[in-house]
Chains A and B, each alone.
Chain A
Amino acid sequence: MSDLLEVEGLTAGYHGVPVLHGIDLRVPAGTICAVLGANGAGKTTLLRALSGLIRPSTGRIAFDGADLGDLATERLVRRGIGHVPEGRGVIAELTVEENLMLGGAWRLGWAGVWGAARAGLRRDVAEVYQLFPPLAARRRQPGHQLSGGERQMLALGRALVGRPRLLLLDEPSLGLAPRVVAQTMALLRQLCEQTRLTVLLVEQNVRSALSIADQGVVMSLGRVVAAGDARRLADDADLRHAYLGF
């Protein structure tokens, strides 16, 4: 089976100061890969490099067999890479529905008032409402009126509307009630199995992340210090003690 995402020797950073030092990573299609590590380990930076928000200085990123080179973020979205950033990125001035529509707006042409594409988008948005009923009740409210958990649902739902093949999630459980965390994780698992969605899941919530992930990588100071089967990582007492703290 070929890997949907292949990262080799990725080095990237901010203002010429490297934060990532030669990251190698392979994620097969339809699986979940948990990215773990302490604060400042470089997890967010890795996701930002993958979605083109920062330019890697060296290394190779291949998606679905094709080299991504230095494609701009908006092009990567069209290739099927969705990114739910740290802090969720709900647009405060737009309503819930507009935020969701925006997730798939790139599929519409210039006008996008009529036509099949818009109908398809409407269906996708309706599906999100089914997944997250609280959003349906607030569809006309502006983003800044949502609670933290609702924002998280909106951000995730918005990314799904874009029909990504690879979803980059930066701490989706942050601020969510334990029950909602469990639901979200279960949902991700379900999506992977049903639609062959591939997920790169950055999490501090190590236990629940590893419980749904197929594999995991542990980062420290911009390097991958451990990688492998999720169950094995969870059972590795030394690793847990040194990096994961539970």
Chain B
Amino acid sequence: MTGWLHSCRRTSVPTLARHLIGVAVAAVALLGLTYVLDPFHDYQLATAAAYLCAAAGLTVLIGQNGQLSLGHGALMAVGAYTLAMVQNQFGDHGVIAQWTVVVSLAAGVVTATLAGTVIGLAAARLRGPYLAGLTLVVAIALPAVTTVFSGVFHGDQGMSVFLPPVPDQLGVDFPMERWQAWLAVAAALLTLLALANLVRGRFGRSMRAIRDNEVAASVAGIPVARVQVVAFVVSAACAGLGGGMFAVLAQSVSPDAFTLTLSLNLLLAVVVGGSGSLAGAVWGSLLLVLLRYWADQLTGGLALSAGLRTRLAGNLPLAVFGLLLIVVMMAAPGGVQGLLSRAGRWVGGRLIRRPSHRAEVPAPDAEPPAPVVSHS
């Protein structure tokens, strides 16, 4: 019965090696980059990496499996609050060590997985707007938990997160931000590695088969409901990790960091990057951070009244994100990655004069197309 899960490991051994090399190269390059960047930009890199954990999971769910979730911001909150509470327990008991962060991140992933299982089971039979609606309600309702159980979660104020200091071995003036960037980048790369293997394997094919034609998939013997739930749970785990990283970066948690807007930001990262594509999730997550940064630069550069500046600060990026979401959806539903691979194929077709019918074959590295991409 579990054959379809096992064989994905069997078929993907060579790809696994390729992915491992890719991750190792990226890790070395980013490690170097953190030394080049100043602490502020290290922190931005860390933020993008934290977004990436969640966005990568979401892009697999939306693009490869065709399930649109607006609840992943709430699932990030689950991961973040779990990390905060476990970390604070360690702190209260005087356990100060780096491994505590790994343990509490893992705890965050576990609780987000559980929450994702509950939602995924409830959503397993839902499609399209119903699923989007249910998860939207989750996104709006879940922050209410913090006020209902304010004894545990401290209501709107939230709570601060106890973190062990930067390891002594790294030297006294090693900036906290760089350490945070290391943590976040490690988490993001591990997430990408795991997801890339999942997507390449048989499970990925099952997800895409269901996305393309559910009836045909079930006729072909794919356990549709189970694949749908597992896909949701996997992406929930990624959201939990991303949420935990958020808490590590901010060193605090509060409900207003995990509103519906966060879910919509993740959706933007997925769509702008090119839904279904892990590389696209990277572009999208970077863009989330960069756009905000550019908006700050812009409003900071203009001579504005203080009131106007605060109004613009949070809202200008929001409006730009929304506009981007609409424009990309109408003009380039394949997102950045879709444009890049199209450009790549065009250039490739120019350089190597292939017979025209071969140009139709997608490049070996191109991600499978996503449903939100194609016009029917």
Direct contact of A and B (CB under 8 A): no
A interface residues, Cβ below 8 angstroms from B: none
B interface residues, Cβ below 8 angstroms from A: none
